[in-house]
Each structure stands twice: as structure tokens, then as C-alpha cells.
Amino acid sequence: MATQAETSLQQTVRRLLDHLDAMDLDGLGEMVDDEVQGVDEIARRWMRGRPAIEGYLAQLKDTVSDVRSQMSDAQEEAWGDAGLVTFVLDQSYTLDGQQQTISAPTSIVFRRRGSDWKIVLIHSVPLPEDA
């Protein structure tokens, strides 16, 4: 039987970051809800629905490499079939040959689907280094 720590929303976020670092698009795709929405510093626009997110991730596979993600200052809340994790994402990656480093307050909203938590919103906003 899984312990609460093994099934916590923070552990789900850690698994998401592991898939992202490995550029495991299939693993990422299994974690998102069909109604997922997201925005980040690379897209600079809202992506709504599974096809938009999957298209964005496929594009990243060709332009982004050497991804390293760390989560800090994490807080999780769950209310029935809804959950939220807020945290600071510290990430480095190579984008089109140029090294990038960000620190971004990030929110991920989850919806319970059966026994799984599926991501319905990823909102990540990098702060300028001088902030």
C-alpha cells in the first residue's frame, strides 16, 4: 500500500519535473488532463487543451535540451477532487543553443480522475534576475 508521502501532489510535481528533464513526452502526456491549460516563459501565450500542450511539448523536443529542474518552497492543498501545488521552479536549460536559467513562481492545479491526479493548469512566471 502506498504511503501518503508517495502519493502526495508534491511527489506528482517531482515526477512531472523528472519527465520534463528527460524530455519524456509520453510520460508528460500521461500526467495531463484533456482540458489542461498552461503558460510559461517560452510559449509566452496560453495553451488550452491537450492538442495545444502536446504540440508545444513536441516543439520543445527540437529546441530545448539539458533541462535541469528543481522545486523549492513548495506548498500543497487538496479539496476533494481538486488540488494545488505552489512552488518556486529553479530551472536551467539550453534553448536554441543558448543557456537559460530561470527562477519562476509556479502553480499547478490538479483534478482527480479516478485514483490519479491529472494536471489541469500549469502557470509559471519567471522573475527577472534583478527583481
- Number of Cβ within a 10 Å radius of residue 77: 10
Tens of pLDDT, residue by residue, the chain (131 residues): 344 444 589 999 999 999 999 999 999 999 999 999 999 988 889 999 999 999 998 998 889 999 999 999 999 999 999 999 999 999 999 999 999 999 999 999 999 999 899 999 999 989 877 65
Looking at residue 127, its pLDDT comes to 85
Closest CA to 91 of 102, 75, 77: 102
Closest CA to 12 of 92, 103, 98, 110: 110
Q: Is residue 80 part of a domain?
A: yes
Q: Is residue 25 part of a domain?
A: yes
What is the CATH classification number for the domain harbouring 86?
Answer: 3.10.450.50
- Number of Cβ within a 10 Å radius of residue 1: 4
Domain that holds residue 81: 4-124
CA angle 79, 77, 122 (to 5 degrees): 100
Q: Is residue 67 part of a domain?
A: yes
If one counts the domains in the chain, the total is 1
